[in-house]
Amino acid sequence: MHTLTLSDPGEALRKAGVVYADYQAAKPVDPRVVAAMLPYMTERFANPASLHGPGDEATAALEDARARVARLIGAEPREIVFTGSATEATNLALIGYALRNRRKGDHVVVSEAEHISVFNVAKHLQKAGFRVTRVPLDLHGRVPLQKLRSRITDDTILVSVQWANNEIGSLQPIAEIAAMLEGTGIALHSDAVAAEGLVPIDVREVPVSLLSLSSNDLYGPRGVGALYVRSGVQLAPVILGGGQERGLRSGSEDVAGIVGMAAAADIAREEMAAEAERLRAIRDRLVERVLAEIPDAHLNGHPELRLPNNAHFRFDGVEGEAMVLSLRDHGVAAATGSACSSKTLEPSHTLIACGLLHEEAHGSLEFTFGRWSTDEDVDRIMAVLPGVVARLRSLSPLYRPKATGGPGAAPQATTATTKDAR
């Protein structure tokens, strides 16, 4: 048998000279998770549907994994449906619930902060004859309760509000929303992908009906997700076939991947509290330094009620993609909500819903920290970020520093005859 040596993601990044601050986009699989998965790829490969001994072992592994993922969110094992991704879980939640409960009403409410995958599923529901209403956000990207309440009608059957925002990290008042909807017969779906592993999620305390989870966001493998379906909530399947996962998600189960998600969930359950505090300290230091050392920098999202690993800035007069490209040259991996980095050329809908102007949304820069982030990463980011912003501002005809003000304060560039044109 081959012996595998698993490399440590932190060491690999250090060797490559990369400061990785885009954990929201993708996370490495924790080597402990890989170790837990390996036997299920080579030795314990059987199909849980098989009646023989190895099949029974696969069933046991699958059900054990279900219990462990359930435990992370305070659910019963039978309330967990494994899927091929969090996007698939969201499809099952929204389409499956709407189709199955259509006789109760045809109205669905989603927040303006939702991930694009939720928006596009909602659009699909609209084409299928449902009415969809969006709830606006406040300055910090949170859903105001009274705005949500005012949009609920007698025909409303389903509300979808994420646990936390994937871009600016704002935590939604999901407990208050769940309490508001409890007993109304309206189902509440929450996309918890950005929040899982960073803030406590307990469906006994926050009675959501449906909750989407991803494996990779817990440092598990890609290609695995899960939907929490509260006992008694009825769904129609969206993927049909051999009737796996109580008929809700057909297709032979990826036992190795599911075991990986369970191992990742165990680690998150045990380490989350300490890890969140560690990430918060790293993040807070970056926010403090950016706001102190870079003029005309702003923090997007809520100052406190946000994910502990998320720092989302905007810089006056600078475009986001240009910042990400420049940081890449310095070995720093970050993200932006600028349209220039997207497929649609539209800036981030979340930033616009917060009330930002397009030019401000174009100037956004997002850092998300994770399990292998260190204090040194902040130092390395701050060794280059002020220079990157200053350089791009020196190219920009838009930027006039506030500190000196006035029309004579154009940034210095390598001009033949320097002057301010305005």
Provide the H-helix boundaries in 215-254: none
CB 21 within 8 Å of CB 381: yes
Provide the H-helix boundaries in 48-85: 53-72
Which residues make up the interface to other proteins (CB under 8 A)? 136-139, 147, 150-151, 317-322, 324-326, 328-329, 338-343, 345, 347, 352-355, 357-360, 362, 394-400, 402, 405-407, 410, 413-422
Instruction: Record the tokens describing residue 344, joined without a space.
Output: 């649609």
How big is the chain by its Cα radius of gyration, in Å?
A: 23
Beta carbon nearer to other proteins, 225 or 363: 363
Catalytic: which of 116, 340, 352, 382?
A: 340
Residue 340 and residue 247: Cα distance in Å, rounded? 42
Residue 23 and residue 335: Cα distance in Å, rounded? 10
Length of the chain in terms of residues written: 422
Residue 340 falls in the annotated catalytic set: yes
User: DSSP letters along 356-414, please?
Assistant: --HHHHTTEEEEE--TT--HHHHHHHHHHHHHHHHHHHHH-SS---TTT-STT-PPP--
CB of 249 to other proteins, least distance (A): 31
Largest CA distance in the chain: 84
Beta carbon nearer to other proteins, 3 or 417: 417
CB 356 within 8 Å of CB 327: no
Helices then strands, each counted (H, E), the chain:
13, 12
Which residues are known catalytic residues? 340
